[in-house]
Amino acid sequence: MNRETSEVLEMEEQVLVTGGSRGLGLATVKLLLTNGYYVSSISRQISLELIELSECYPSRLETVALDIRNAESVALEVRRLAKIRPIYGLINNAAQGFDGLFVTQRPELIADCIQMNLTAPLMLTRQVLRYMLTRRRGRIVFVSSLAAHRGYTGLSVYSATKAGIEGFVRVLAREIGSRTITVNAVVPGFMDTEMTSTLHEEQIKQVLRRTPLGRLTPTDDVASMVAYLLSPAAAAITGSSFIIDAGASI
């Protein structure tokens, strides 16, 4: 199969994006649609921006209102989507975070963060893999965070979930590589999204002082890396984590 044929096949398949209603997820959905992919956006709520986008791409964007923490509903939805169009890619982007010292966190809040950021995407990946393994074809991308690599006060639980994701990526890549399925992670720095809006002004200033480019990470830059990892050019890349952080990790 030559590269041109491979590109055509990819465009006929679909990519699932979780948390596609805003922030990085929405930027990713927009870019993939622009690049010609069929996209299914999965999020707890369908934002106005996503509705407007679906009106522009009525035949190539499927919007799904679903809480990925509900394992039974996830299994049913993945089965439904797979019947509509073969699943080529899965972008595990949905996550939640909170700011606060670990010793003051309520146990239920800690458990919910772990469920949303770690357990749920792993279970979704397991469902999607059933179809990818049969076809011996697929791309899986997890969205991690610079918080998994650097110590930021108040983000202990969030950091733990993202570090767990990157460890999972390395092992899963080894387990399923023989089926021509790649697994990678993108590691954004602090982006100007709803999640970072919970940080205090002084925390943002501290991040900018530690960042050589002196700015937050653009969501479009991260979305571009996600799109690259789905492309034929990235066929030999698996088990890797790619940092896009305006130099903050230097």
Query: How do the pLDDT tens digits run along the chain, 250 residues long?
Result: 344 444 444 558 999 999 999 999 999 999 999 999 999 999 999 999 999 999 999 999 999 999 999 999 999 999 999 999 999 999 999 999 888 888 889 999 999 999 999 999 999 999 999 999 999 999 999 999 998 998 878 889 999 999 999 999 999 999 999 999 999 999 998 887 665 555 667 777 777 878 888 888 899 999 999 999 999 999 999 999 999 998 988 8
Task: Enter the DSSP assignment of 101.
Answer: -
249 found inside a domain: no
Q: Which member of 131, 152, 158, 228 is catalytic?
A: 158
CATH number for the domain that contains residue 34 = 3.40.50.720
In contact, 119 and 141? CB cutoff 8 Å: no
Q: Match 């979930």 to its residue by tokens.
A: 161
86 found inside a domain: yes
Q: Which residues pair with 91 in a beta bridge?
A: 17, 141
106 found inside a domain: yes
128 found inside a domain: yes
Structural element, H or E, at residue 205: helix 201-209
Judge whether 158 counts as a catalytic residue.
yes
112 found inside a domain: yes
Looking only at Cα atoms, what is the longest distance across the chain? 56
d(Cα 220, Cα 127) in Å, to the nearest integer? 28
81 found inside a domain: yes
- Domain with 185 in it: 3-244
250 found inside a domain: no
pTM for the full predicted model: 0.91
230 found inside a domain: yes
